[in-house]
Structure 1
């Protein structure tokens, strides 16, 4: 069985949200609660989010998303075509 990166990210996200939820339920009783909340936050924002962003942008060309003169001209041409068709 091959585990994909999206499954690993999902498991990390669930574990992080679970740790945050567990820490919030212990807030008044246990002095360890901030450690659970902090660990869940670190897992969510410093592990799961960068992994997700890397996975989603791995095979994309960043020049397509930059605002260059060529891309501005392409966008203007598309806009003209859209307005002409309507």
Structure 2
């Protein structure tokens, strides 16, 4: 999955760079498709892969997690 993300990222970046450097009638479309590919394909896939095995409750501010943070601060010595 990481290789697919890298490949699509490179394809989008190449599309954007070609749109800026090559002067053809469809250069603005190359830039647009590259940006759309980044925001609609690459970023959601990257977020999915990054959060796939993580527990959402670990990142919520519940009373239990607040107590854990307070205990860590009390025990922390500088």
Q: Given the two structures, how large is their TM-score scaled by the length of structure 2? A: 0.92
1:16-31 correspondence runs (5 A): 16-26=12-22, 29-31=23-25
Instruction: Find the aligned partners of 2:11 and 2:66 in 1 and give their Cα distance.
Output: 43
Q: Which of 43, 60, 63 pairs up with 1:66?
A: 60
Q: What is aligned with 1:14?
A: 10
SS of the residue 1:51 aligns to: helix
Aligned-pair Cα RMSD in Å: 1.0
CA positional deviation for 1:69: 1.3
Q: Which runs of 4+ in 1 moved over 4 A?
A: none
Cα offsets for 1:10-65 (capped at 9, x unmatched): 00000000000000113xx3220111001101111110110010011011000001
Q: What is aligned with 1:50?
A: 44
Q: What is aligned with 1:41?
A: 35
Q: Given the two structures, how large is their TM-score scaled by the length of structure 1? A: 0.84
5+ residue gaps, structure 2: none
